[in-house]
Structure 1
């Protein structure tokens, strides 16, 4: 998740935990052109309208207010109620990484230097009560997301909009709005930015861009019955999203919405369930569970072993969808702490890593894909293959020892690896132990420092107390190299009095300048190439050791049809599902 301001610090841990709820990762096809996640054995036949779709989740769909929701959290249930200026393309695999129009007629029209973006609304847009949607509603919806009592959403606009850094929302100063959001008429909206942002269309997919009519705003209570602009409306919200019931919004016009299919008549979201219970219910598929899915719970190694992998011979295997989300798990160095201030020590550790044992610790070869690049292996991110410190499948302890000798440690050295004690197969004790054993073969003694997950996150993102060596992970809010590389390696984003994501505290003028140059590009294909080249260049400094890129394996009920899993979210797209 890209974090650019101190106001977003609490969001980070929450969004990460929601994205990885359930925790299991799975490797998909090696061929990037064959990364569709559709479950081949899901119920056959053409999808039809009608029926009730049940959603079984671990995490509650809490804070159901477009200002407070974080796009990457809580699956994609919010997209059924809240439409935005743009949205993700609802297709399988790589095709799903594209941004497309939603409420707007296009993905936005930039000025010459991408510091100003203009959008025009489609005709025929209306809320669930029949009132027309206007650009004033979108402007107000964005402005209320700046209010402290409605915090929790993505932080980009606070950093990007002119005046956004000091704006406190419309509930103060007599309802003052943001001058950098202009609405010359009911169908036109213009955004003025502090700096060029060629990827603004991606940010316009965030729920903060959902329209909210000022006359219907009830502040913190709005989540109880938000006004729908999408195909479904909220008819019940119990225990802050623990039980959410959605029914058709009869005022939604499918002619204005090419992305959402909206097949079921009713969607029943049940949350707060144990992951094992969810997977058991989906596996058994009895009663209403036959038409059930999950948007946040993965299958684990033991469950996958029982299911098997042959969809032709095993009906259950045919109901497993594979998703690829932009994420990297890695070893992080803090070069401000000895001996990690010595590049040769960092290189030695890079050579010593046994990725086979790391993959096994993450659940086995069926559940993790070894990585040597920071960027995920997807074209949209600009992935450029490289392996600056080739260790093979099992590490190269001899090369590591040679580098340690050159670094002044001919007899090896002792270091500490900080990790989380949470059993999430990401920064877990099992992965830490695999690293410990691999480095031992190179003469490096590793002491493991396991911390409770909240304490771990607090320590690893604290610039003043960042450990010298720790397990970490990073995911992108949209499929681009920008949300990956900028927060981790842009020196201007170093935060010394709060949460800091630039763990290496790298402040290289050349890297900063290249990030700015890429941000000016509205040609996303060209931008992707530049992000990939920058990733490769930064990788030469051994500021981290990529370990694996996780994906997802999730089960659907036996009556579920039209499973679509894009590389944008890595999870089943609820807007495409049919149960008849």
Structure 2
């Protein structure tokens, strides 16, 4: 059985929320938190100012790709489990939500059993049962409801060929022996299954209210708020669900009476509005916009603004990917030469400086939850090791240098755009490596790099974990059984090593994430010797809140504010 140390009584959660006024791990809280009292935090309207739709564009839980309880969607949809809502490293843990614990494993982690809490109700007052959760998971397989997490089809027994419940077919690997019990049968051991059950696909959906693709127009809430209106990519208004209370939900404070989201805003506009905090913007946060270097410079000289700047981290690595099927990257000496030649300081500078990024030499982020194990097999220092790079190039038959092409996105949104590409180009030049830059349209870049037949030999990309363990960070990139030839492939090197695949299987049998961590770190270190990627940076997030927002911190699971925990005047 795997139960989370984050099992919280309501009083314990409220005490933890009050403690958020001090730094925890890599997070720090905003001004005003010292006066925060979870017992009296009720009332007001919270405003969310975002570049993109905070609901991931859709309000159907089957179509939302998020885990841990997405920032805004977690206000509408409760799931079997959720993330532990506290700052610092403890926020990387799984906590029970609709379920009484984080799951009981049996059959070598191939079977997981959950029991529901008492008193759970939808927004219309009808009880939530295990059958509602089963229906919610099954409908996520329907081809007319695309966009959710990919793990269900791969992990659940019979999932590969299942097409959803709308034609009367059930998924036999999900069993509901009574209204309070749900059992999942997996086709292989998965110790991380409690992390997957934080996804919105594990939110209850009442079959009687489900009209397929039209469900997102009026989704039925199981969380503290229900939807009043939603205009995709433009706005969202949430109001209180009268059948929710903290007595049945010890994972959300839900202080504001109302939430209003505005989407499609420019990042500079968002930060300017938060900085000014005029009118309604004093009660505002953003869940997707970081401060720019120029804005950071202003904040550092203004004590009042500095109090409202919140710092945190999310498990992400920005890196150079190699396709060894393309010459000259089939030669490991060329890949190693490029690894030695990279001057990471220039990349850090391109990403906004040391306040917003730190150099990376490991693929796993440097956080304990991932099993981070430090290594640096190709030490380049801050500015690159040109001598070693030239030596390796000569051994590979390129004594006079080498010309390569670096593909990148034509926008700088994810550190895989022109700024970082130009920094890499300048850095490699010092080692005699001429880099021709090849930009791709932002919208089509993913299609190009995620299909083996069109994948470039060398390109910039980024990877962030769906939950904070080593599995979802390493497996999509290095497990040979996850290579997808027709698109959606993230295993750029197309590595299919039986020993590596076997180690993934062995670690997946471990149901205690703490015990699994050293194995993930060792696997990362072993793969790193092959120079299949060049880790460049791990980003740092710094965001601003309105002046009336209290108890704001960036959780390490997603690197974002949690609207379920903040309050406003």
Report if TM-score (shorter chain) is over 0.5: yes
SS at match of 1:574: coil
**Structure 1's 116 and 548: CA in aligned 2 closer, same or farther, altered over 3 A?**
same
Contact 1:415–1:446 (CA under 8 A) maintained in structure 2: yes
1:194 and 2:183 equivalent? no
SS at match of 1:573: coil
Residue in 1 that maps onto 2:30: 39
1:513 and 2:505 equivalent? no
Contact 1:115–1:193 (CA under 8 A) maintained in structure 2: yes
SS at match of 2:404: strand
Q: Give the gaps of 5 or more residues in structure 1.
A: 1-31
User: d(CA) in 2 for partners of 1:183 and 1:122?
Assistant: 15
User: d(CA) in 2 for partners of 1:147 and 1:321?
Assistant: 40
User: d(CA) in 2 for partners of 1:74 and 1:296?
Assistant: 15
**Structure 1's 428 and 41: CA in aligned 2 closer, same or farther, altered over 3 A?**
farther
Q: Give the gaps of 5 or more residues in structure 2.
A: 1-22
Residues 52-85 of structure 1: CA distance to partner in whole angstroms, max 9, x if unpaired? Answer: 1111111123210111111169951110010000
Match of 1:274 among 262, 266, 284: 266
User: d(CA) in 1 for partners of 2:371 and 2:188?
Assistant: 22
User: d(CA) in 2 for partners of 1:567 and 1:140?
Assistant: 31
Residue in 2 that maps onto 1:262: 254
User: d(CA) in 1 for partners of 2:185 and 2:415?
Assistant: 39
Deviation at 1:233, TM superposition (A): 1.0
1:499 and 2:500 equivalent? no
**Structure 1's 41 and 368: CA in aligned 2 closer, same or farther, altered over 3 A?**
farther
For residues 469-488 of structure 1, the aligned pairs below 5 Å read 469-488=458-477
For residues 114-125 of structure 1, the aligned pairs below 5 Å read 114-125=109-120
Contact 1:64–1:241 (CA under 8 A) maintained in structure 2: no
Match of 2:169 among 156, 176, 185: 176
User: d(CA) in 2 for partners of 1:55 and 1:33?
Assistant: 24
Contact 2:414–2:462 (CA under 8 A) maintained in structure 1: no
1:294 and 2:286 equivalent? yes
Residues 265-295 of structure 1: CA distance to partner in whole angstroms, max 9, x if unpaired? Answer: 1111111222221111111111111111111
**Structure 1's 38 and 246: CA in aligned 2 closer, same or farther, altered over 3 A?**
same
Contact 1:113–1:196 (CA under 8 A) maintained in structure 2: yes
User: d(CA) in 2 for partners of 1:391 and 1:360?
Assistant: 16
Contact 1:43–1:559 (CA under 8 A) maintained in structure 2: no
TM-score scaled by length of structure 1: 0.91
Alignment size in residue pairs: 543
Residue in 2 that maps onto 1:412: 401
User: d(CA) in 1 for partners of 2:69 and 2:297?
Assistant: 27
Residue in 1 that maps onto 2:59: 64
User: d(CA) in 2 for partners of 1:417 and 1:526?
Assistant: 39
Residue in 2 that maps onto 1:154: 149
User: d(CA) in 1 for partners of 2:255 and 2:309?
Assistant: 21
User: d(CA) in 1 for partners of 2:444 and 2:382?
Assistant: 33
Deviation at 1:241, TM superposition (A): 5.4
User: d(CA) in 2 for partners of 1:89 and 1:523?
Assistant: 16
**Structure 1's 41 and 387: CA in aligned 2 closer, same or farther, altered over 3 A?**
farther
For residues 69-84 of structure 1, the aligned pairs below 5 Å read 69-71=64-66, 76-84=71-79
Match of 1:567 among 549, 556, 564: 556
Residue in 2 that maps onto 1:421: 410
SS at match of 1:148: coil
Residues 392-423 of structure 1: CA distance to partner in whole angstroms, max 9, x if unpaired? Answer: 11111011111111111111111111111112
Deviation at 1:323, TM superposition (A): 2.1
1:144 and 2:139 equivalent? yes
User: d(CA) in 2 for partners of 1:33 and 1:286?
Assistant: 29
Contact 1:420–1:452 (CA under 8 A) maintained in structure 2: yes
Residue in 2 that maps onto 1:50: 43
Residues 408-447 of structure 1: CA distance to partner in whole angstroms, max 9, x if unpaired? Answer: 1111111111111112251111111111111111111111
User: d(CA) in 2 for partners of 1:216 and 1:385?
Assistant: 51
Residue in 2 that maps onto 1:463: 452
Contact 2:48–2:260 (CA under 8 A) maintained in structure 1: yes
**Structure 1's 224 and 189: CA in aligned 2 closer, same or farther, altered over 3 A?**
same
User: d(CA) in 1 for partners of 2:234 and 2:427?
Assistant: 43
User: d(CA) in 2 for partners of 1:53 and 1:430?
Assistant: 35
Contact 2:67–2:196 (CA under 8 A) maintained in structure 1: no
SS at match of 2:28: coil
Residue in 1 that maps onto 2:199: 206
Residue in 2 that maps onto 1:539: 528
User: d(CA) in 1 for partners of 2:113 and 2:25?
Assistant: 36
**Structure 1's 74 and 513: CA in aligned 2 closer, same or farther, altered over 3 A?**
closer
